[in-house]
Amino acid sequence: MNMMGEEMQPEVTKGAIRIEDVVKIYDPDGAAVMAVDHCSIDIPAGEICMIVGPSGCGKTTLLNAIAGFHDVTSGHIYLDDEMLCGPDNRKAEPGSDRIVVFQNGALFPWKTNLENIAFGPMMEGKLSKSEIYDKARSMMADAGLSGTENSYPGEVSSGLRRRVEIVRALMNDPKVLLFDEPYRALDSLTKSVMHEALLEIYYKNKVTIFFITHDLEEAIFLGHRLIIMSSRPCKPKKIVDVDIPHPRDYSVLTSPRFREIMNEAKGVVHEEAKKAFDAGEKEG
Amino acid sequence: MSLRTFKENLFSKGALRGIAAIVIFVIIWEVGARSEQIFGFRVPFLGLVPPPSSVFVSWGGLIGEPSYWQSWYMSFVRVFTGFIAAVLIGIPLGLFMAVNKTFYGMAFPSFEVLRPIPPLAWVPASIIFWPTQEMSIAFVTFLGAFYTIVINVLGGAKSINKQFLQAAQSMGASQWDIFRRIIFPATLPSIVVGSAVGMGITWEVVVAAEMISGGGSSGGGAGGGLGFFIWASYVGGSYEQIIVGMISIGIAGYFSSELLRQLGGYLTPWLKTR
Ligand SMILES: Nc1ncnc2c1ncn2[C@@H]1O[C@H](COP(=O)(O)OP(=O)(O)OP(=O)(O)O)[C@@H](O)[C@H]1O
Ligand SMILES: [Mg+2]
């Protein structure tokens, strides 16, 4: 499984996530909704872990628990050796070691792209403003964003916006990037460009990536591993190793191994989607 | 703006259409107002109105009158006193109601009971409890803008995308940073809209308040403002001056709104390109 490309990368030692027996029950006005059911996932440092599952199964819920946006009902979540949440603190503290890239994007529209990217370090206050802006500019240049520094997010294409948001996340030197279907709204051509761009960024800044998606092709192209979730309440249903070596480019999409993995995953995903659909029919 | 772009703007299609429409309107008005002389019968409505030519003559006579400009000045002072007070009190109040649940629970019900009372219904009461008439007019003007500003700010601040707050929190922003760098700028567009609408209401209210209260402390005439100017012209039977007063208010309101638009555009540069 360890191929040439992978061995060339420096070893990532930080950013392992361990989800242990996490349960999340939403209880607005007594109508308990179980979103996550005794879910355990181990993600080694530096892995791109793709979470695939039917609509409404509880993927965002799990991501929000890691990010610290809401509490869990029971269970533990660890980042390396640090317990983010457990029996004593059910809600993790949000922190710059875990940055979320949201489904609809959350760049601040009133700040220019450069100011957006500088936001995290400015809040941290360790570096001077000019050091931060220099770093931001060079990160933008690396990501092919030169020339858009002084534009507002609303003035650039949605593909560029996504890239700005990823660079903004990376400026915080996170251990983990949490993606909640960031490319859902993009057309498939832009998407393929974004995938290669994301991998390129990843090869330069190895972090752990927790990536939620509906799109199997995206999942297999990007991921070291696919975790296919059951319909709600969510827990891992099947884990698929993507033994295609990194660095990858779009040519792997047509490789026979890609097709094989796709076929293996498709059956499970379809089955769960059908369960979710049937459950929805019963409820609705 | 260079002379060239000024000319281009002036002679652009849109501007020309606007000018043409005004010219046509004035011609119809002139002909209608003089219909009795021209056609021998009175056109309904327009036949009762003084023609624009005599309005302009009357206006020309007023241009040199300090009392006419004093009316402008008085109304402007009242509008801006009330408006600025509404902005200074309304924006923090709206923001605070949005971020503090306890305060919201306390303040919002009374706010919602007071809000439907039209500002003009406050005229008699405010004449009674404010020491000077000037203050009571400014107070009523303040109310005109206040509710609109608070409601807009509150709505804007409450509808902030939750993910902006989450993102800022993840990146280490403190509560104060979140307020200052996220909630406030995210609410700015609503602040601008609320202020612009509030400014419009302010002019409506000040004119009516001046008419009702008899023009304020200096007891009519020069100190009365544009609202009282119209009222006094009506009482004095000068119909041309009524129309001069009306157009003056239109122009004054336009300049106030334009000022706010410019300021708003300057404060929210990111909205320009959409
Ligand atoms: N704040 C909440 N209160 C109550 N129920 C909630 C809340 N948030 C989510 N849910 C419910 O929990 C379940 C899982 O939601 P979640 O958003 O985690 O799903 P998801 O897998 O991310 O779905 P999607 O693919 O549509 O993004 C859904 O049934 C949803 O209705
Ligand atoms: Mg989701």
- In this prediction the ipTM stands at 0.87
- HSE-CB of B32 using CA atoms within 13 angstroms: 15
pLDDT category at B264 given cuts 50, 70, 90 is very high
Q: Which of B159, B162, B171, B183 is the mutation pick for testing A, counting most A CBs within 10 A?
A: B171
CB A55 near ligand 1, within 6 Å: yes
What CA–CA distance (Å, rounded) separates B215 from B75? 10
Yes or no, beta carbons of B268 and A110 under 8 Å apart: yes
Return the structure tokens found at A110.
Answer: 């009133």
Inform me whether the pLDDT recorded for A78 exceeds 70: yes
What CA–CA distance (Å, rounded) separates B205 from B187? 26
Classify domain B58-273 at the CATH superfamily level: MetI-like (1.10.3720.10)
Of B163, B170, B269, the CB nearest to A96: B170
Q: Which position has the higher pLDDT, A131 or A251?
A: A131
Tell which atom from ligand 1 comes closest to the C-alpha of A103.
Answer: 27
Of A94, A96, A106, the CB nearest to B161: A106
Alpha carbon nearest to ligand 1 atom 29, residue: A56
Q: What are phi and psi of A81, to 5 degrees?
A: -95, 0
Q: Does domain A14-97+176-260+272-284 have CATH number 3.40.50.300?
A: yes
Please write the tens of the pLDDT for every residue from A120-162.
Answer: 999 999 999 999 999 999 999 988 899 999 999 999 998 889 8
Q: Find, among A170, A173, A193, A174, the residue nearest to A183 by Cα.
A: A193
A97 → chain B, closest CA residue: B170
Q: Which pLDDT score is estimated for A1?
A: 43
Alpha carbon nearest to ligand 1 atom 9, residue: A61
Which residue type is seen at A279? A
Looking at chain B, the whole-number percentage of residues with pLDDT higher than 70 is: 92
What would the 3-class secondary structure string for chain A be? CCCHHHHHCCCCCCCCEEEEEEEEEECHHHCCEEEEEEEEEEECCCCEEEEECCCCCCHHHHHHHHHCCCCCCEEEEEECCEEEECCCCCCCCCCCCEEEECCCCCCCCCCCHHHHHHHHHHHHCCCCHHHHHHHHHHHHHHCCCCCCCCCCHHHCCHHHHHHHHHHHHHCCCCCEEEEECCCCCCCHHHHHHHHHHHHHHHHHCCCEEEEEECCHHHHHHHCCEEEEECCCCECEEEEEECCCCCCCCHHHHHCHHHHHHHHHHHHHHHHHHHHHHHHHHHHC
Q: How far is B95 from chain A (nearest CA, A)?
A: 18
Inform me whether the pLDDT recorded for A75 exceeds 80: yes
What CA–CA distance (Å, rounded) separates A194 from A17? 25
B268 → chain A, closest CA residue: A110
CB A235 near ligand 1, within 6 Å: no
Q: Which pLDDT score is estimated for A180?
A: 93
Which residue type is seen at B242? I
Inform me whether the pLDDT recorded for B219 exceeds 60: no
CB within 5 A of ion ligand 2: which residues?
A: A 60
User: Whose atoms come closest to the Cα of A65: which ligand?
Assistant: 1
Please write the tens of the pLDDT for every residue from A186-240.
Answer: 888 888 888 988 898 898 888 999 999 988 999 999 999 999 998 888 889 999 9
Q: Which pLDDT score is estimated for A118?
A: 96
Domain boundaries of chain B, sorted by first residue: 1-49, 58-273
Inform me whether the pLDDT recorded for B5 exceeds 90: no
Residue A81: exposure state from Cβ atoms within 10 A (0-12, 13-18, ≥19) = exposed
**Chain B residues in contact with chain A using a Cβ-Cβ cutoff of 8 Å:** 161, 163-164, 166-174, 177, 181-182, 185-186, 188, 268-271, 273-274
The number of C-beta contacts closer than 8 angstroms across A and B is 68
Yes or no, beta carbons of B268 and A123 under 8 Å apart: no
Inform me whether the pLDDT recorded for A10 exceeds 70: no
Of A94, A102, A104, the CB nearest to B169: A94
Domain with CATH 3.40.50.300 in chain A: 14-97+176-260+272-284
Inform me whether the pLDDT recorded for B96 exceeds 50: yes
